[in-house]
Amino acid sequence: MGDKFQLIHDVSPGTTGWTVKVVVAEKFSPKVAQRSPTKYQNLTLMDSEGSTVQATLYGQNITAFQDELLLGKTYLISNALVKETNAEYKAKSGEIQWTISGRTRIRRVEENNSNLLISTYSFTDFEDLPKYMDSNLDISVIGMIIDIKPRRIIQTRFGKECQVQDLVLVNKRFDTVLLTMWETFVDNECKYICQNLRKKLILIGKHLKVTSFNGLSISTKADSSFFIDGEFELVEEFKSWGHTNSEIIDNMISEKHYLTSTPSKLSVPTAEKDFTEIKNIQGLKTAKQFFWIKGKASVKVLNQTYWYMSCNNCNKISSENYGDIYPCVFCKCTDAKAIPRAKVYMQLTDPTGYINATAIGNPAEYFLQSNAEILMNQTLIPTAASMRLSMDEDEIFYVKAITKELSTDCKFEILFIVNPSQIAGDKNTGKAPVEHIGEPIKFLEPTTKRSLFHSDTDDAQSSKKKRDKSTIEITKKNQ
């Protein structure tokens, strides 16, 4: 970046005749203002010294400039409106805010300052993700996209329908993680990814969170932002990695080899103080929360159904017969398959009390020491000979407390069960990474490439028209 221009710090309210060369370091999704219908979009601009300023676009300028200010690209900017940021709206990048409007002069500079962009990120290693599980803390990740699942519609606990779509990312050690994209990220980023998956896209995301859903996965937040690049030019390291390992990656993509090779690890607490005593959550009325409990599980109601027929795409209940292909009313998948899923209603006890809790899927199968298909075919009321009905030793449970919209009391759901003997113990962190008994990344039925993306083919047709209007940021090859 050159010297003959001003830096961000040189520009104050009232400064005239300035030009600053900046990289678009962040570009957030447009939002609607809290107390008015005004739309706004925030960007973070960075100069050659790494200083940043928040720039904001309003109303019609958002769409007008969406192809002018691309994430990671370099621009000469002059005549933005420079003012002190209203404390109420202050973003973290600084006290000064630039407003970009029709009078702002913006000139694209063909420079690759992606290293500067990358320097603004602090990537979390995949193996450190468990430390952030359900914490809602911001994390950033970088990885190659090796798979994208069909879009799903889900119902939140407040009855709202949302669209989500899962990606599989692989890092340089060939570890994989699921990234769930929500709502607008499905319309924008996922649509682009579906159309370009052959290019081995690198994804860089920030302001993401780690959840315990599906074992352990990354999820978007409202202010997440992505940089998706199909040519590896972003990160030199990844470029050479991608080329060196293209055969392995091709194999992961085509054979879905990753599905069984990289189980998630959990950070299981080892200190007594990290476990919640059951007496402290009995009758709890809080919103959703997560707890570690050390205790024993047992089935108190023998005469229950230990499985349900589910959609293989979204796990929601199905009225179809095993193996049937059907349109799922919940996730809207047109070719969902009905498969049994284990569930068990049990009692969790520790020395301080007990709660009733449900386990579904893998934790249920682990506890019962059975599997969904066997449970489905079982006709008699089970006995200790046919399945495990109680635990001899304490095990460790990761429990989610759920309050439904119209219900006052909490339900508890067991997400993971860990046998203490699995824990190696890590005295430095007080957390032990173990392979958990949670949900693995699901194995997709063998399918053609085409049908994998079937739910997006309609979109693909209209997308050409829309491409110029797209709000996603894409780095194209050496334009």
Partner DNA sequence: CCCCCCCC
Q: Which residue, 66 or 165, has its beta carbon nearer to DNA?
A: 165
Q: How far is the CB of 13 from DNA (least distance, A)?
A: 36
Q: Which residue, 54 or 176, has its beta carbon nearer to DNA?
A: 176
Q: Which residue, 361 or 433, has its beta carbon nearer to DNA?
A: 361
SS (H, E, C) the chain: CCCCCECHHHCCCCCCCCCEEEEEEEECCCEECCCCCCEEEEEEEECCCCCEEEEEEECHHHHHCCCCCCCCCEEEEECCEEEECCHHHCCCCCCEEEEECCCCEEEEECCCCHHHHHCCCCECCHHHHHHHECCCCCEEEEEEEEEECCCEEEECCCCCEEEEEEEEEECCCCCEEEEEEECHHHHHHHHHHHHHHHHCCEEEEEEEEEECCCCCEEEEEEEEEEEEECCCCCCHHHHHHHHHCHHHHHHHHHHCCHHHHCCCEEEEECCHHHCCCHHHCCCCCCCCEEEEEEEEEECCCCCCCCEEEEECCCCCECCCCCCCEECCCCCCCCCEEEEEEEEEEEEEEECCEEEEEEEECHHHHHHHCCCHHHHHHCCCCCCCCCCCCECCCCEEEEEEEEECCCCCCEEEEEEEEECHHHCCCCCCCCEEEEECECCCCCCCCCCCHHHHCHHHHHHHHHHHHHHHHCCCCEECCCC
Q: Which of 380, 346, 362, 360 is nearest to 307 (CA)?
A: 360
Residues 6+ apart with CB under 8 A from 78: 18, 19, 20, 104, 105
Q: Which residue, 11 or 311, has its beta carbon nearer to DNA?
A: 311
Q: Which residue, 120 or 358, has its beta carbon nearer to DNA?
A: 358
Q: How far is the CB of 172 from DNA (least distance, A)?
A: 25
How far apart are alpha carbons 350 and 330 in whole angstroms? 37
Q: How far is the CB of 135 from DNA (least distance, A)?
A: 10
Q: Which residue, 158 or 198, has its beta carbon nearer to DNA?
A: 158
Q: How far is the CB of 259 from DNA (least distance, A)?
A: 17
Q: How far is the CB of 402 from DNA (least distance, A)?
A: 6
Q: How far is the CB of 318 from DNA (least distance, A)?
A: 9
Q: Which residue, 71 or 314, has its beta carbon nearer to DNA?
A: 314
Q: Which residue, 163 or 262, has its beta carbon nearer to DNA?
A: 163
Q: How far is the CB of 442 from DNA (least distance, A)?
A: 10
Q: How far is the CB of 319 from DNA (least distance, A)?
A: 10
b/e map 435-474, b = 16+ CB within 10 Å? ebbbbbbbeeeeeeeeebbebbeebeeeeeeeeeebbbbb
Q: Which residue, 58 or 308, has its beta carbon nearer to DNA?
A: 308
Q: How far is the CB of 130 from DNA (least distance, A)?
A: 15
Sites of contact with DNA (CB under 7 A): 134, 152, 154-157, 160, 162, 164, 180, 182-183, 209, 211, 213-214, 217, 219, 222, 288, 308, 310, 314-317, 341, 343, 345, 358, 360-361, 400, 402, 404, 406-407, 411, 413, 415, 439
Residue 289 β-bridge partners: 401
Q: Which residue, 213 or 258, has its beta carbon nearer to DNA?
A: 213
Q: How far is the CB of 217 from DNA (least distance, A)?
A: 6
Q: Which residue, 210 or 249, has its beta carbon nearer to DNA?
A: 210
Residue 202 β-bridge partners: 144, 229
Q: Which residue, 270 or 310, has its beta carbon nearer to DNA?
A: 310
Q: How far is the CB of 378 from DNA (least distance, A)?
A: 17
How far apart are alpha carbons 78 and 320 in whole angstroms? 62
How far apart are alpha carbons 362 and 368 in whole angstroms? 10
Q: How far is the CB of 382 from DNA (least distance, A)?
A: 17
